[in-house]
Amino acid sequence: MQARTLRGQPDIETVAEGDVEFRRGGMVIRADRIAYDVPEDRAEAKGSVRIEREGVVYAGPQLLLSVQRFEGFFIEPTFEFLTLGAGGRADRVDFLGPGRSRAANASYTSCPRDGPHEPAWVLRADRVHLDLEANEGVAEGAELRFLGAPIMALPTLSFPLSEARKSGWLPPTLNIDNRSGVELSVPYYWNIAPNRDATLAPRLITRRGLGLDAEFRYLEVRHAGEVRLDALPDDRLAETARGAVHWQHESALPFGLAARVDAARVSDANWWKDFPNRSLSTTPRMLASRLAVERPLEFAGGEGLAYGRVLSWQVLQGTDLAVISPYERTPQIGARLARRQGRWAWALESEYNRFTLPAADLARAGRASGGERLHAIGSLAYGARDGGMWLVPRLAFNAAAYESVEGVRQRRFIPTFSVDAGLELERTDTAFGRALRQTLEPRLLYVNTPTRVQSHLPHYDAAAKDFNFVSIYSDNTFSGVDRVADAHQLSGGFTTRLVDEASGGEVLRLGVVQRYLFRPQQVTPQPDGTPDGAPLTQRLSDVLLLGSTSVLPQWTFDAAVQYSPDIQRSVRSILGVRYSPGRFRTVSTTYRFARGLSEQVELGWQWPILERPAAVARSGSNACSGSWYGVGRANYSMKDSRVTDSVLGLEYDAGCWIGRIVAERLSTGRSEATTRLLVQLELVGLSRIGSNPLRVLKDNIPGYQLLREERRSPVAAPD
């Protein structure tokens, strides 16, 4: 204890006056006067009392506290949760022991609490009970007020006091779209056990009826996963029951085996169109179900993997555009082995597949109904690297044997020889007022693969690789196993980079690469990427040009161009520029062009419309003086002369609360689109109410920044 004056009797009582500070462990009490009863271990503080303990600060006129037991009361205190930047006041707070307290006639807000005006938002309660050991807070007679109006009243409101989970009702969500109307959902979180929980969300959709979303998560010693269910027992628009299910699971099995399941299914082909925000896959019209059992392998310094898998598809066909389904694998059994010893490295893969088509795709003309394939792929390489130079000759083969459902058997064996060589040169320089490191990275890849006629063979998983800076340095222009492009070619190019020595950030990147054919290529893809196209006689391939720079402060430029010497025009190009002068300020535009296919311009932005004056923000005024931000992205198809996907919204930051309204338009066909309206009220330090547009904004707007860093909402669940 320290103060201006101290007096008392040893081991009986100490009285301190004037700027008193009393410390016990992690607790600090400050006051004008403190009388400490030593035998009773009781402190009585008066006048500008302030107590700090476990990240909470209380302040008021009078405190009586049994220090060690932390029992007593505080008269008319204010309180502040330091980590949340929020707090409130109460008529009285009773401390009932370490971690337990009770407040009477309490209020809570993150808005300024000085002056005669009511905060912009405030949560009031007749009584509040806090129990840190049970991780539970209970507010009785709770009322949430926003801008002077009550928006939620509950007889009892419970909430967790830490990051730990707790059962209870979560804030309601609200969604509006042109297909389903207004959707209101009130989720309930059920903390079943430390390793299991569930969320049940009854929902009312004005045009469709009642539904239920459910999610169950589990984490056992050897098993983990989650199941998500979306059910509409009676969709009034579709006049039928509808639903979706997604199961993800992992298991550790005996003998070092591991099992994985990832299965998704929906009730009908229009699910992806009617509920685009409930997509179960990045390809919403092709839903995969995968089952795999695998075992890692280790041998004599090498490693590998043995596996058995099953893959099936649910293809959601529509009337506007047919979807070509991949083949199902029922089953897929194989093993992969690899070893590196010194400069030598070898790899071997062998796999058996039984291919079938989904029932919905069996009637499609021109496709084999399925068959079996056994393949083996191997390679042997010698890597010579000295400083910034490498030379890697490599010998590989691709062998496969097929048997169709009609019993026709075919086989082929195709070898490949390649040499990969390159340099990595560096030098230091000074430019643009800073120290830089420049690299020059030339590279050559020679590939020789003999011609083998393969058009009579099935193609289950072969597709043309995209022509880019990565694929041009591969020895096969096809992905998958069923096609191996013949090649006698040389790919060459270079990349140069400027790197800031101080920050390590890349300031400039330039690259160019091209391929030369020593003989015409016979095994080529068709224009749509499928195998068995016309022979390629053009000796020089298209030139790929790449460039990006952030030399100019606050500006970023990116460009990628595929230029055809044959027609002396660009075939594909992507040009982008982004301007980001500060926080919550970014504008970007991107131009995408594919000759004969598409031409699009995309504009994205986050920018202040009306900013809160700095003086007002510092004063903590409750006046309506927040900052307005415009956010959005628009994608315009110049070929179709229409806007395809777009997002447009407004954000209002009042300091202690944020309002968001966002409209999203998703194309679901050539002449169809789904439009959603997302409205959210974020009470900083409490919770978010309404629909959540944050994922939409982060996924669609390059450089988008949250107005507030995401953190746990202390009030999570009304009972």
Q: Domains in the chain, start-ordered, CATH in brackets?
A: 5-168 (2.60.450), 368-551 (no CATH), 581-719 (no CATH)
Separation between Cα atoms, residue 462 and residue 478, nearest integer Å: 6
Banded pLDDT at 364 (limits 50, 70, 90): low
**Confidence band (pLDDT; 50, 70, 90) for 128?**
confident
Per-residue pLDDT at 615: 41
Residue 641 is predicted with a pLDDT of 86
Question: Which two tokens mark 660?
Answer: 């968001």
pLDDT band at 712 (very low <50, low <70, confident <90, very high): very low
* Residue 699, SS3 per DSSP: helix
pLDDT bin (cut points 50, 70, 90) of residue 319 is low
Length of the chain (residues):
719
Is the pLDDT at 483 greater than 60, yes or no? Answer: yes
* The token pair that represents 483 in the structure block: 């096609």
The predicted pLDDT at position 398 comes to 97
* The predicted structure's pLDDT at residue 320: 65
pLDDT (mean) for 627-641: 91
The mean pLDDT of 193-213, rounded to a whole number, is 94
Q: Which residues pair with 688 in a beta bridge?
A: 682
d(Cα 316, Cα 286) in Å, to the nearest integer?
6
Report phi then psi at 442, rounded to 5. Answer: -75, 155
Q: Is the pLDDT of residue 716 over 60?
A: no
474, pLDDT greater than 90: yes
Prediction pTM value: 0.80
621 has pLDDT over 50 = no
- In this structure, are residues 425 and 437 in contact, taking their beta carbons and an 8 Å threshold? no
- DSSP letter, residue 326: P
Which pLDDT score, from 0 to 100, does residue 709 have? 65
Are the CB atoms for 325 and 315 separated by under 8 Å?
Answer: yes
pLDDT in tens, 408-463: 999 999 999 999 999 999 999 888 778 899 999 999 999 999 999 999 999 899 99
Tokens of 395: 């010998």
- Helices within 260-346 (DSSP H only): 271-274
- Average model confidence (pLDDT) for the chain? 88
- Percent of the chain past pLDDT 70, that is, above it, reads 93
CA quadruple 588, 593, 599, 603: dihedral, nearest 10: 0
Separation of alpha carbons 231 and 212, rounded Å: 5
- The pLDDT of 467-490, averaged and rounded, is 94
Token couple for 152:
């939620």
461 phi-psi bin (left φ>0, alpha ψ -120 to 50, beta other): alpha
What is the average per-residue pLDDT within 11-38? 89
DSSP 486: -
pLDDT of residue 170: 81
Burial status of residue 7 (CB atoms within 10 A of its CB: 0-12, 13-18, 19 or more): exposed
